[in-house]
Structure 1
Amino acid sequence: MTNDTTYRQAIEELETILRALETDTVDVDDLTARVQRSAELIRLCKQKLRNAESAIERVFENLEEDDDDTPAADSEEEETPPGPPRRPDRPFPSGQLPF
């Protein structure tokens, strides 16, 4: 088993082995080798899934750290200077829309 085998390749090979086992096309002498190869592929898939899970957790942790460093939205609103006063007959100054 090589380290450059992708998760998809490993799954496809496992499916091929499973189909062969289900159709009884595997010779008894070849059965042990196929079962061993399946075990290797399963270990590889589990490791790739664990690595992906760890990487995703790190991304979310970094996002949470970024959120902690960002000032709260309330403080930003307080620092924003007020716009021109609005007249009751014109809800938005100079015909501008709020977006």
Structure 2
Amino acid sequence: MKEQYTYTDAFEELQSIVAEIEQGAISVDELAEKVKRASQLIQVCKVKLNATEEEVNQVLAGLTATETAEPDSEAEEEA
């Protein structure tokens, strides 16, 4: 397995495997290996999604903190 996958790369390969399975294009001999690979790709996608979610939450928290701090500083200037 490639060490560094983008989410898109992993998801596209996963879609390809699913399509092959759905179409019956995979022999019984290959099935276990394809399912194992799909499992690895799902894990890559989950890790990337979780990391992205954490990053977005941090950005949003920073925005919320900035918005909360601004009205206070405006109130102090008016006083």
Q: Please tell me the TM-score bracket, short chain as reference.
A: 0.7 to 0.9
Mapping of residues 44-63 of structure 1, within 5 Å? 44-63=44-63
Q: How far did 1:36 drift? A: 0.2
Percentage of pairs with the same residue: 33
**Matches of 2:71 and 2:19, distance apart in 1:** 57
Which of structure 1's runs of 4+ aligned residues deviate more than 2 A? 71-76
Instruction: Name the aligned partner's letter for residue 33 of structure 2.
Output: A
Cα shift readout 1:74-94 (whole Å, capped 9, x = no counterpart): 748x58xxxxxxxxxxxxxxx
Q: 1:19 maps to which residue?
A: 19
Q: 1:32 maps to which residue?
A: 32
Gaps of 5+ in 1: 80-99
**Matches of 1:68 and 1:22, distance apart in 2:** 51
User: Greater helix share, 1 or 2?
Assistant: 2
Instruction: Name the aligned partner's letter for residue 59 of structure 1.
Output: V
Moved more, 14-23 or 34-43: 14-23
With CA pairs under 8 Å and 6+ residues apart, which has the higher RCO, 1 or 2? 2
Cα shift readout 1:12-44 (whole Å, capped 9, x = no counterpart): 111111111111111111111100000000011
Aligned residues: 79
Measured on the aligned residues, the alpha-carbon RMSD in Å equals 2.2
- Could you say what secondary structure the match of 2:29 adopts? helix
**Matches of 2:32 and 2:6, distance apart in 1:** 23
Q: Bigger radius of gyration, 1 or 2?
A: 1
